[in-house]
Amino acid sequence: MKLVHISDIHIHPDPILGLDPIANFKACLAYVEAHDHDADRVVITGDLTHVGREDSYRELQRILAASSLKGKLAPRLLIGNHDDREVFASVFPGAQRDETGFIQWTEDTPAGLFVYMDTVDAGRHGGLYCAQRMAWLEKVLAGARAGGRRAYLFMHHNPVRVHVANADVIGILNEAELQGLLKRYNDTVAHLFFGHCHYTLSGAVAGIPFSAPRSANHACWPDFSGEINRMGYGELAPNYNVCFLGAHSTVVHSIDFLDAGKVQWRIEDDIEAIQL
């Protein structure tokens, strides 16, 4: 199964750190349409807007309506800390909620059960996965295990410390409790997908591999100085991830879509003439 994972598009009418989030998101979608139309799912893991304004959600709605990504390719939209849960739901009334009102749901896919999570703690940049949401997730994962199905989890916030101070201070507040739940189901959860940090990440937590793309607008530079108020940014390539979910493997590629024009192609009759 082929998955396109986009994150942190930050739709906003004004530039953010000198970059145009609307133009960059349109460029991202155009590249997906041109090169990844054979994907099975497209998922955007939050920070759909920059300040949670209705006009920004309306702009996102217009962009998606004009896109050829429909049906199974219509982007699945998660919310992040820059979003407003109720404003988002008012503009996207089809947003699926759990029984307690959080924007989280599940979907059957060719690879297994996709689990879309709501890690937003309203009014804070840090995330939270409260007792109600934990109970929902445990029920979902128990059902997947009982059915012999693999689960793939999608969320906005990083569920593990990434050793960059300005990211770790706004990660999931109760990450220890969430990691405890994940550990109990690491035979069922095949992979975790998240965003929030704005730089490419991969690793494992509770025995489960994870990956995250950069922001599709303003990528950041990982800084290991320990200074909470220090953030690296600039003319860094935004990207999205293309993930291949197999029965016995997961492969993740980073696509720097604005750099596509720099690529030179070489075709050889003899495959051995191409040396990597």
- Residue 101 has a pLDDT of 96
Reduce the DSSP state of residue 5 to 3 states and report it: strand
pTM for the whole structure:
0.96
Task: Measure the CA–CA gap between 165 and 226, rounded to whole angstroms.
Answer: 5
- Band the pLDDT of 104: cuts 50, 70, 90: very high
Task: Give me the CATH number covering residue 42.
Answer: 3.60.21.10
Q: Using one digit for the tens of pLDDT, what is the confidence trace for 17-45?
A: 999 999 999 999 999 999 999 999 999 99
> Which whole number is the average pLDDT over 86-105?
97
Is 275 a residue whose pLDDT tops 80? Answer: no
Range of the domain at 42: 2-274
Q: Using one digit for the tens of pLDDT, what is the confidence trace for 125-177?
A: 999 999 999 999 999 999 999 999 999 999 999 999 999 999 999 999 999 99
- Band the pLDDT of 268: cuts 50, 70, 90: confident
Pairing between β-strand 220-221 and β-strand 232-233 as defined by DSSP bridges: antiparallel
Contact 89, 103 (CB under 8 A): yes
Task: Measure the CA–CA gap between 203 and 265, rounded to whole angstroms.
Answer: 31
Which residues touch 64 (CB under 8 Å, ≥6 apart)?
Answer: 74, 75
Reduce the DSSP state of residue 139 to 3 states and report it: helix
> Which whole number is the average pLDDT over 118-126?
97
Total domain count, the chain: 1
- Band the pLDDT of 243: cuts 50, 70, 90: very high
> Directed axis angle between helix 21-35 and helix 54-66, to 10°?
20
> Which whole number is the average pLDDT over 76-92?
98
> Which whole number is the average pLDDT over 194-218?
98
